[in-house]
Amino acid sequence: ISHTWFLSVIQDEFRAGKINLDSTLKLFEKLKIPCDYDHVKHIFKKTIDKQPDRTIDMEGFRTIYRTIVHRPEFLEIFRIYTRRNRMMTDAELMSFLRREQFKTELNETSILEIIFKHEPIEEVRKRRQMSFEGFVRYLTSEDCSVFRSDLKTIYQDMNYPLCDYFISSSHNTYLISDQLIGPSDIWGYTSALLKGCRCLEIDCWDGPNNDPIVYHGHTLTSKILFQSVIEVIDKYAFAVSDYPLVLSLENHCSPLQQEVMAEYLENILGDKLLTSAIGSSEITQLPSPEALKFKILIKNKKIGTIEEGMLRRGLDSRGETGEISDSDSMSDEEDTEDKPIHHRRHSGLKRKSEAKICPTPRKKAKMKKIKIALALSDLVIYTKSEKFVSFEHSLVHQKCYENNSIGEVKARKLVKHSAREFVSHTSRFITRIYPKGTRTTSSNYNPQEFWNVGCQMVALNFQTPGLKMELQNGKFLDNGGCGYILKPDFLRSRNSTFSPFNVGRYGKPVTLSIKLISGHQLPPSSLSKTNKADPLVRIEIYGVPEDQSKKKSSVIKSNALSPRWDETFSFSIQIPELALVRFCVEDEISVGGNDFLGQYTLPLLCLSKG
């Protein structure tokens, strides 16, 4: 039956006798078989064997098809469950799914759904059976993805306060290259939003003609209009996720241009912009992502309290400013890691005509005054930027809607020396981590060490590929890719004594066993002209320090099309809730180094069995 079906599908293409490479690729599309151009081209060349017309007949195509589709590891398991018969019955399919794929909840109806979805041969479908062709299509479909299908949609409770979630966050989102001379581009915002990012950064400076600009200040990076940035954010804010978007303003503008910023935010974003608190005016905890669906929040310095700002809504506050001392600077990211920190904040309201009253500055500390336009200040509701002083200071003075930005160097020291206090802090307040200023090439730090202590906004340079962004992208595949992931209980409880360095009673040990069977159509090495890579696979665990682990397979020589390993790896994991699993495929070039071919990272708890 399979042979007859195969001929009936392909015979029209061979009416002229033979087909070329392009027609071969189109025929694979018609047969609904995903294939890699380089691999098909390589096998095609071997099949024509120096024929001058560079075409193949029907038998030649069948050879290529079987080489790519009829994988021996699939045939082996198909034969085990069909007892070497040519067709798999519905009962045999159910047996396979229960024993190999651990799908214990399946019934007769769901088995038939699988057959009707994946079996290409009508006659076999009618018999409620599955051919090897159907079996291959099923095993290579999304239904058999290593990522659990039930976690590809939003499944977590989205009604906890904002601080109870990890939030996908970007650093200097406007940059699409390095931090010193590269271009600024609105594509940075579009790209980040399409990747599910929910906290964007905007560096704002005074521009010509009273029009604020966005760029990396005091560098040669190019400039874009603040208005253009807000317009593109308005367009793509909720393209991927319905949940709230935070605009983190690094604000260097004069009060006059801050008022222009406020006008752009209100006029362009309209009802999307959150301009007042939800429910009670007395704020004792942050609202939830669910309550803030389709809302855009402004993260910036603020004069006074939310309640005071609410009282001014509807009044004309043009020309009115407030002052914040330099110790509570408008730019969290300007500070060096060892800059003196002032424990007392001074802020107050004043009209333009009022006289300044400045506190006596400390010696060595430059107590410069920073002016903030009330029109912009009043747009800050639940995300008020507050300079981080110490965990003790925050516990006494910080309000639930005030949040901190901490540089990676200082944050790493806090993780090392005060991990439990850090966890306690992030259970109460949104904490944003940002890269150190010396990362001029837009390199990234490892976000895992800050997720381990519950930091919500671990901001990375989204434009820079590599391991760190792969961990970011892998983590936020969870919960439907909506950019919000509910933190584990031990990172949300205010009574938690969790430390990533000594998990103690918080450990929930699991043993992860991974059998690496085979690869298929691996990307050819950029350093290989023959399409014959020497692939190996690294399996890595990222999580709390105790769980970090790396193992690698043997090297399969000269086979990028269908390398076969059949090797098993075991890992013992104490905190599965924080663990990520990364599969990295490399081509062994020499003893000294390998060529990266591809990777896939996902949360451990999102792994499918089977």
Tokens read off for 159: 């009604």
Q: In what order do the strands lie in the sheet with 213-214?
A: 224-225, 213-214, 199-205, 245-251, 296-299
Tokens read off for 275: 């301009």
pTM of the prediction? Answer: 0.90
Q: Can you give the pLDDT at residue 351?
A: 39
The residue written with tokens 């970011």 in the block is 472
Strand-pair partners of 599: 584
* Residues of the chain falling short of pLDDT 70: 50, 280-281, 326-367, 526-531, 591
Tokens read off for 160: 């906890």
Cβ atoms of 403 and 383 within 8 Å: the answer is yes
Distance in angstroms (rounded) separating the CA atoms of residues 197 and 179: 20
Distance from chain centroid for Cα 253: 31
DSSP string, 289-348: TTTTTT-EEEEB--SS-HHHHHHHTTS--TTEEEEEEGGG-S-GGGS-TT----SS--EE
Work out the number of other CB atoms within 10 angstroms of the CB of residue 17.
8
Give me the half-sphere count of Cα atoms (radius 13 Å) on the Cβ side of residue 424: 15
Q: Can you give the pLDDT at residue 339?
A: 35
Pairing of strands 245-251, 199-205: parallel
Residues marked active site are found at 171, 216
Phi-psi region of 38 (alpha: psi -120 to 50; beta: other; left: phi over 0): alpha
Q: What is the pLDDT of residues 72-81, one digit of tens each?
A: 999 999 999 9
The residue written with tokens 């109806």 in the block is 109
Distance in angstroms (rounded) separating the CA atoms of residues 601 and 608: 13
Distance in angstroms (rounded) separating the CA atoms of residues 364 and 610: 64
Phi-psi region of 343 (alpha: psi -120 to 50; beta: other; left: phi over 0): alpha
Domains and CATH numbers, the chain: 3-69 (1.10.238), 72-144 (1.10.238.10), 162-305+367-491 (3.20.20.190), 507-606 (2.60.40.150)
Distance in angstroms (rounded) separating the CA atoms of residues 434 and 462: 12
Distance in angstroms (rounded) separating the CA atoms of residues 123 and 535: 40
